[in-house]
Amino acid sequence: MSINTPSQGVTVDLRSLDQLKGASARDARGQVREVARQLEGLFMQELMKSMRATTMASGMLDNGGTELGTSMLDTQLSQQMTGLPGGLSDMIARQLERQLQGVVTPSGSTASAEAVRPPSGKTRVGTSASPRPSSPEAFIQQHQAAAKAAESATGIPAEHILGQAALESGWGKRDIRMPDGSSSHNLFGIKATSSWKGKVAEVTTTEYIGGVARKVTAKFRAYDSFEEAFKDHARLLTTSPRYSETAAKADTPADFAKGLQKGGYATDPAYADKLTRVIHTALRVQRDMA
């Protein structure tokens, strides 16, 4: 359904907004930019409407045809002003993304970098919500020092490491739990294979093997602190041949994310894109906190 007022150049496409609303319920993050663009477009059309209303008609040459032409020109101008870099839609998108951080967690699949078979995407079932950081800001404040120490050990920017920890743990809200309910402190979803000699948390997961979802019981590494998790993750990326190239070529978020996916950290084909987005979110949050 569209509401058109040609004489004032305003077109409000309610049907497209309803479609966006339904799509955002399925993929909220993926629709943020489009929702922001639509909202900016509506604002620009209303702005043109207000400007035109304050302009006096020129006289006897004004008629239905000139009004229609003016309306079409106003609509074209509003479209041209919509979606510009650094514009209103960017501001709206940032605000929407901040709001979504509290209710939507990434669905990126994770895997051990030392799994015997090729790692597969998984959703951990045997986990419970962590009472720790409830926002990206709190998550970054809590783990920034450990990420900086990992940067010194690996050469990988702390923001990239923080971003991966945020993706894997849902900004600290998804926690792999020990049998007694305590935290395993495993922020990176690293499995405990036969080479692991430390503590283990065993949970039920859904893994995708050859594109087929299977429920399995998997063992994950457990640590005494989050700092230990960051140190173990740093060792993994610098000592495993699968990730040596990742550590050496991690100048940008995209390079880091693609290197992890290429090394087999996850089988989710969208893992690199998801990780890149979360890293950029972490960077924006840090800038806002500064």
Question: How far apart are alpha carbons 167 and 70 in whole angstroms?
Answer: 49
Question: How far apart are alpha carbons 180 and 184 in whole angstroms?
Answer: 10
Single out the catalytic residue among 227, 232, 255, 288.
Answer: 232
189 and 111 Cβ atoms separated by less than 8 Å: yes
Is 232 a catalytic site residue? yes
Q: Classify burial at 48, counting beta carbons within 10 Å of its beta carbon; exposed 0-12, middle 13-18, buried 19 or more.
A: buried
Distances (CA, A) of 287 to 65, 87, 166, 253, 265: 51, 18, 17, 16, 28
Single out the catalytic residue among 114, 175, 207, 268.
Answer: 207
Question: How far apart are alpha carbons 80 and 124 in whole angstroms?
Answer: 45
**What radius of gyration, in Å, describes the C-alpha atoms of the chain?**
25
Is 137 a catalytic site residue? no
Which of 138, 149, 195 is CA-nearest to residue 171?
A: 138
Return all residues near 250 (Cβ < 8 A) that are at least 6 apart.
Answer: 155, 156, 157, 160, 256, 259
Point out the residues that are catalytic.
207, 232
